[in-house]
Structure 1
Amino acid sequence: MKKVEVLSDKPALIERALQLTIAKMTNAIAERGVCTIALSGGSTPKPLYEAIAAQHLPWEKIHVFWGDERYVPPNHPDSNQLMARQAWLNRVNIPGENIHPIPTNEADPAVAARKYEEHLQAFFQTSGDEFPKFDIILLGMGSDGHTASLFPHTEALKARGLIAVGNKQEEPRITFTVPLINHARCVVFVVAGADKKAALAQVFAPDADDFNYPSRLIQPQGELWWLLDQSAGEELQVSTAAES
């Protein structure tokens, strides 16, 4: 199920993303006693995380993961983990064991990727070809159509395990794979900015190259939400109105 909403501006986008995320978190806890959420990086979700931090939620029932991470130390300014901790996690009473950062301390990123994959399998109690099923995966999209650290025409797009080593201009990153994302109960893209319009047109086109625009590959078994601000999604409103 794909739903598309175009909001008037970025504050409205963040407010809608907050409303939807809290609803999905609350529903997961009501149904299964726990919520598993994977976060995105970049600048767009920071105000969303700040808004979540202001909510009164049963933090002990929420487990936080990351969909991708730059291969830098946790205290590095470019770290997705650091941004989420400063905007959200350090501000609430969430147990330390409920925070599941991607390791970036191995000499070989492939070793770190394997360790995170093993951690996910242990937490979700999955094995073999079985995939964990996250309650919510938050994603952004770059102006090139990438999402998480799944960049155009990179080997990570073909990975069939849980975790892969992504690559941007020879800089390694650790990322969820397409199949792992697609097993989620709910995937929410939060996209802002006029620089995304050209890529969005290709992502939503009936026919386009998935490996040119990796966000096209995200077709989860559960719900798929695209939340866009006006500057990003204005040209999609007519074509997507029926889907939303």
Structure 2
Amino acid sequence: MHKFIEVLPDKTSLISRALSLTVEKIKSAIERRGQCTLALSGGSTPKPLYEALAEQSLPWEKIHIFWGDERYVAVDHPDSNQLMARQAWLDKISIPAANIHPMPTGAQNPAQDAQTHEMELTQFFKVKPGDFPAFDVILLGMGDDAHTASLFPQTDALKVNDRLITVGNKDGQPRLTFTLPLINQAHCVIFLVAGESKRPALAQVFAEVASETIYPSRSIQPQGELFWLFDQAAGAELKV
């Protein structure tokens, strides 16, 4: 793994750096393999990145969009990660509908929908059941509790190492999420972290010794590149 840590002066600089890095990784994946597989994160931090990506001129037909996690709500629900990305970005570009691969949330059964999406990924990436495909780029955020995707502290989802997709749990609310081994198979993972409220968790994520069960973002160790991008408010106190 190659790890890179960058503290940018402010949120605007953070988004600008994330944009240039994401575009660079998209283009290099297309050059290498003729397409790019990109998994998105939810939350408020990446929304301006998606709005900026909508202004880019990229070969959208060669880019496939996925989500690293999804709240278990209808597609048109205000909390939907898919809805946010569509409104900020995907509805504004000429990307083929078949290139957008949302997590299904309509079966009234999160475990069943997790299994359905796992089969979709297995078929798309042409891997054998039980094998983990390698995404080109996975975008992640981090909560004040050090969770990432829907891998929350001290939850069962953290222990799942034989599945691509599992059910996460936030205060009794189910979510679908990539598992740790799926994230860690990626060629490139990019964290976007903003805000002073993240500092206590980050101190533990970057501490020499701390619990991965209590601070799940510590467990993100992809086989490729790992970029941590911070604004000054989040990253000012980091000892790395």
**Shorter-chain TM-score tier:** over 0.9
Q: How far did 1:33 drift? A: 0.2
Check conservation: 2:122, 2:129, Cα contact below 8 A.
Answer: no
After TM superposition, the structure 1 = structure 2 runs for residues 221-232 of structure 1, keeping only pairs within 5 Å, are 221-232=223-234
After TM superposition, the structure 1 = structure 2 runs for residues 204-223 of structure 1, keeping only pairs within 5 Å, are 204-223=206-225
After TM superposition, the structure 1 = structure 2 runs for residues 154-169 of structure 1, keeping only pairs within 5 Å, are 154-160=155-161, 161-169=163-171
Structure 1 counterpart of 2:208, one-letter code: P
Q: How far did 1:127 drift? A: 1.3
Instruction: Report the equivalent of 2:177.
Output: 175
- Are positions 1:77 and 2:94 aligned together? no
C-alpha distance in structure 2 between counterparts of 1:29 and 1:148, whole Å: 25
Q: Which runs of 5+ in 2 are unaligned?
A: none
Instruction: Report the equivalent of 1:192.
Output: 194
Q: How far did 1:207 drift? A: 0.1
C-alpha distance in structure 2 between counterparts of 1:217 and 1:122, whole Å: 27
After TM superposition, the structure 1 = structure 2 runs for residues 29-178 of structure 1, keeping only pairs within 5 Å, are 29-160=30-161, 161-178=163-180
Q: Percent identity?
A: 64
C-alpha distance in structure 2 between counterparts of 1:180 and 1:152, whole Å: 18
C-alpha distance in structure 2 between counterparts of 1:107 and 1:35, whole Å: 31
Instruction: Report the equivalent of 1:25.
Output: 26
Q: Which runs of 5+ in 1 are unaligned?
A: none
C-alpha distance in structure 2 between counterparts of 1:216 and 1:95, whole Å: 36
Q: How far did 1:129 drift? A: 2.7
Q: How far did 1:108 drift? A: 1.0
Moved segments of 4+, more than 2 Å: none
TM (normalized to structure 2)?
Answer: 0.98
C-alpha distance in structure 2 between counterparts of 1:86 and 1:104, whole Å: 18
C-alpha distance in structure 2 between counterparts of 1:208 and 1:138, whole Å: 24
C-alpha distance in structure 2 between counterparts of 1:54 and 1:123, whole Å: 27
Deviates more, 1:124-133 or 1:29-38: 124-133
C-alpha distance in structure 1 between counterparts of 2:101 and 2:129, whole Å: 21
Instruction: For residue 42 of structure 2, give the secondary structure of its aligned residue in structure 1.
Output: coil
C-alpha distance in structure 2 between counterparts of 1:198 and 1:29, whole Å: 38
Instruction: For residue 115 of structure 1, give the secondary structure of its aligned residue in structure 2.
Output: helix
Structure 2 counterpart of 1:67, one-letter code: G
TM (normalized to structure 1)?
Answer: 0.97
Structure 2 counterpart of 1:100, one-letter code: H
Instruction: Report the equivalent of 1:8.
Output: 9
User: RMSD value over aligned CA atoms?
Assistant: 0.5
C-alpha distance in structure 2 between counterparts of 1:193 and 1:177, whole Å: 26
